[in-house]
Amino acid sequence: MTELETLREAIRAELDSLWSDLNAARDAALRDRWSMRCDFLTERIKRLTALVGPTPWRDVELSLLEDGVYQRVHAELGVEAPVDMAAVAQARARLDQDRAQLR
């Protein structure tokens, strides 16, 4: 693996972590589910996305897809990052069904 490939891999891993961190920051935010921390993480996501392209939507938490956060971030960058919302809805239905069975 070349040094450039190693660097790209590291950036991709960091992007995965940043999307996860953004989801956690939204969950921790008060009232409107957005905070200065969310803004900070979003800016970091944008900087790294500009270098390596979008994180595949399947690697991002469902709530960020359902609420359009993932789509908005990429639209602001002018980057194509289509999401299969039918597949997102199916994944949510499966999660909800699994939770219901645990009760």
What pLDDT is stored for residue 64 in this prediction? 97
Alpha carbons 17 and 85: distance in angstroms, whole number:
22
Q: Which residue has the tokens 């921390």?
A: 37
Token pair for residue 20? 């996860």
Mean pLDDT (the chain) is: 95
Distance CA 85, CA 37 (A): 27
pLDDT tens across 16-41, in order?
A: 999 999 999 999 998 878 999 999 99
Predicted pLDDT of residue 101? 86
Residue 4: pLDDT over 90: yes
Q: What is the pTM of this model?
A: 0.91
Quick one: pLDDT band at residue 77, thresholds 50, 70, 90?
very high
In sign, the C-alpha dihedral spanning 88, 79, 11, 41 is negative
H or E, element range at 87: helix 85-102
